[in-house]
């Protein structure tokens, strides 16, 4: 088991929403951060100013050794407010020397570990969690050695309870692990609309903001020794009933590590599949795993220098993002453009666990392999269409070489007894009304550019409209209109039908 590989995924979960594009404090989305895994202090949710204080997971274990033990890791971020002061000790909006600093809410990583024999959990266990507050000061010195001020970082103390218990169900051990924030605070009258809330450096905002007393990005890593976790997403038949009665509260357990391993579970505030991993193409932590790295990177590159300067001043992590994106080569950008990975065919469980693991990098995008990999299909599933024989090759089903007998540029299809192929002229007769624009294509003449077949046996005609002034450009780019064979008429027949209709309209 490679725990660091799992931590890469857990870190992406923990830092999801830490700061978001465009990574500037002035951006509205960065005034309401910490989207997932927030355990607020008691009473904050009821007051409408914070999140619920607890989360809990239930998962299944099989004992498979003489000394089963459980290692619980609770991981989260503690808010740390950063405030610049000038040389006279007066708080200021920003301070600039060799590096520009602004006021900002940073975060400090925290990890609490509890190791206990499984047998001891037959009686529920509760363990206190105490995280001290504090204040640190950093002198800010100009390049010539002159002191221009200081940066003060302050943290409020946090307290919580970590609970665990074990019950037997259908020959399995059902483990429940919960976390509850017990930090005491006073935010009577505090509101997100309160003027103090718009000024993070305001003492009133700092003292009453529930985020300072919250566990941010909280999640669990559960590691078993002489015991094996059972997948709740794809349980074996003998565990299906027990899995069905497991309940989750703001946290979802999935198997983690290398596919096929069963000694590690990630309890995530974001719903994932078993064995999630960081995309190997994602080379930079962008703190937005629900976005596409290529899009975010291109957006960062197109930011103005003033916008980049503000982002760099907000947080060292934002500074790293800006500098990394600016330094990316065309080859590195190309690797972000997309990839296909072949999964392994088989049953429902195979889709979650079977594909080969690729090394993860320090990155932000989480892609559960079962979600982003097209399912493999045996070559025999590529059945013959019309007179085309099925082929048996090892290429994946989405590869054109999977069936060498299929050639969109040469294939034809019978429409009204006439062969229609690339170059044929047809009249468009939309029937399915699958698109609101279909009505504009009615009775338009078009040229067939390809006869394509999907993996389910459907036949589609790729068309370009003859009266479209951009027809040549669309064909050059490969941007076609697609209609079924039943939605076109060969132009010879179509012209005759139009002529008959015109004559009927002219008749008195």
Residue at a domain's end among 242, 272, 302: 272
Inside any domain, residue 164: yes
Q: How far is CA 481 from CA 387, 426, 445, 457, 491, in A?
A: 25, 13, 12, 19, 17
Q: How does pLDDT run across 96-153, given as a tens digit for each residue?
A: 888 888 999 999 999 999 999 999 999 999 999 999 999 999 999 988 888 999 999 9
What residue ranges in 144-278 does DSSP mark as E strands?
Answer: 147-155, 158-169, 172-181, 216-225, 227-230, 252-255, 264-268
Residue 400 lies in a domain: no
Answer yes or no: do 287 and 253 share one domain.
no
Specify whether 118 is located in the same domain as 64. Answer: yes
90 CB burial (10 A radius; 0-12, 13-18, 19+):
exposed
- Residue 191: which pLDDT band, with cuts at 50, 70 and 90? low
Note whether 175 and 65 are same-domain residues: yes
290 closest CA partner among 300, 279, 304? 279
308 inside domain:
yes
User: Looking at the structure, do residues 253 and 206 belong to the same domain, yes or no?
Assistant: yes
What pLDDT, on a 0 to 100 scale, did the predictor assign at position 266? 97
Boundary (domain end) residue, out of 376, 396, 418: 376
What is the model's pLDDT at position 58?
Answer: 98
Domain membership flag for residue 367: yes
> Region 20-39: what's the mean pLDDT?
88
Judge if 48 and 20 occupy the same domain.
no
Residues 42 and 161 in one domain: yes
Percent of the chain's residues with pLDDT above 90: 53
Confidence label for 348 from pLDDT (cuts 50, 70 and 90): very low
Distances (CA, A) of 204 to 88, 131, 380: 22, 22, 69
Q: Are 227 and 264 in the same domain?
A: yes
Same domain, 72 and 168: yes
- Domain carrying residue 44: 37-79+108-131+157-272
pLDDT band at 399 (very low <50, low <70, confident <90, very high): low
SS3 8: helix
Report the distance separating Cα 323 and Cα 39, nearest Å. 33
Q: Quick one: what percent of the chain has pLDDT higher than 70?
A: 79
Mean pLDDT on 32-49:
90
Instruction: Give the Å distances, CA to CA, from 251 to 48, 53, 69.
Output: 21, 13, 22
Whether 238 and 328 map to the same domain: the answer is: no
The band of 280, judged by pLDDT with boundaries at 50, 70 and 90, is: confident
56 in helix, strand or coil?
A: strand
**Token digits of residue 218:** 């909280």
Q: Which two tokens stand for residue 451?
A: 């006869």
pLDDT at 190 (0 to 100): 65
Give the H/E segment covering residue 325.
helix 316-326
pLDDT of 411 reads 85
- Supply the pLDDT for residue 216: 97
| 185 occurs within a structural domain | yes
6 plus 50 within the same structural domain? no
Residue 41 lies in a domain: yes
> Are 298 and 179 within one domain?
no
φ/ψ region of 248 (left if φ > 0, alpha if ψ in -120 to 50, else beta) reads beta
Tally the domains of the chain. 3
- Enter the pTM of the model: 0.69
Q: Which of 305, 316, 296 is nearest to 20 (CA)?
A: 296
Say if residues 78 and 228 touch (Cβ distance below 8 Å): no
Residue 204 has pLDDT above 50, yes or no: no
Together in a domain, 289 and 182:
no
Which residue, 329, 353, 376, sits at the end of a domain?
Answer: 376
Between 194 and 81, the more confident residue is: 81
For position 481, which CATH number holds?
2.30.30
């Amino acid at each position: 088991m490679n725990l660091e590989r799992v931590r890469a995924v857990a870190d992406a979960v923990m830092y999801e929403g830490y700061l978001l594009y465009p990574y500037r404090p002035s951006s509205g989305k960065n005034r309401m951060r910490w989207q997932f895994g927030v355990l607020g202090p008691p009473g904050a949710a009821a007051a409408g100013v914070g999140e619920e204080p607890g989360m809990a997971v239930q998962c299944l274990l099989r004992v498979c050794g003489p000394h089963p033990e459980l290692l619980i890791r609770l991981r989260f971020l503690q808010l740390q407010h950063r405030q610049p002061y000038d040389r006279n000790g007066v708080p200021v909006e920003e301070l600039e020397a060799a590096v520009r600093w602004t006021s900002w809410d940073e975060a400090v990583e925290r990890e609490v570990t509890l190791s206990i024999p499984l047998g001891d959990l037959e009686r529920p266990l509760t363990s206190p969690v105490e995280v001290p507050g504090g204040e640190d000061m950093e002198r800010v010195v100009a390049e010539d050695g002159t002191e221009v001020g200081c940066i003060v970082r302050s943290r409020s103390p946090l307290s919580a309870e970590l609970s665990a218990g074990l019950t037997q169900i259908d020959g399995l051990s059902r483990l429940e692990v919960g976390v509850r924030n017990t930090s005491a605070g006073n935010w009577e009258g505090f509101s997100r609309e309160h003027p103090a809330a718009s000024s993070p450096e305001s003492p009133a905002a700092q003292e009453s903001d529930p985020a300072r007393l919250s566990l941010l990005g909280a999640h669990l890593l559960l590691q078993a020794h002489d015991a094996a976790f059972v997948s709740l997403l794809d349980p074996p038949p003998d565990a299906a009933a027990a899995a069905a009665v497991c309940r989750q509260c703001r946290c979802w357990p999935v198997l983690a590590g290398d596919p096929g391993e069963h000694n590690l579970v990630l309890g995530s505030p974001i719903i994932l599949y078993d064995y999630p991993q960081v995309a190997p193409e994602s080379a930079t932590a962008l703190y937005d795993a629900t976005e596409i790295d290529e899009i975010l990177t291109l957006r960062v590159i197109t930011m103005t220098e003033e916008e980049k300067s503000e982002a760099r001043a907000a947080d060292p992590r934002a500074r790293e993002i800006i500098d990394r994106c600016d330094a990316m080569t065309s080859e590195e950008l190309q690797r972000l453009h997309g990839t296909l990975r072949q999964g392994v065919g088989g049953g429902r469980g195979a889709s979650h666990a079977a594909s080969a693991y690729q090394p993860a990098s320090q990155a932000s995008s989480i892609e559960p392999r079962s979600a982003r990999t097209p399912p493999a299909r045996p070559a025999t599933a590529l059945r013959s269409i019309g007179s085309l024989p099925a082929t048996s090759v090892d290429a994946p089903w989405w590869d054109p070489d999977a069936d060498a007998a299929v050639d969109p540029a040469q294939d034809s299809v019978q429409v009204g007894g006439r062969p229609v192929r690339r170059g044929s002229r047809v009249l468009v007769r939309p029937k399915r009304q699958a698109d609101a624009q279909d009505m504009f294509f009615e009775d338009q003449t078009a040229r067939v550019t390809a006869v394509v077949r999907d993996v389910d046996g459907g036949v589609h005609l790729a068309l370009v409209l003859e009266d479209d002034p951009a027809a040549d450009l669309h064909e050059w780019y490969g941007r076609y209109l697609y209609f079924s064979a039943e939605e076109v008429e060969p132009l010879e027949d179509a012209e005759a039908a139009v002529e008959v209709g015109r004559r009927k309209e002219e008749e008195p």
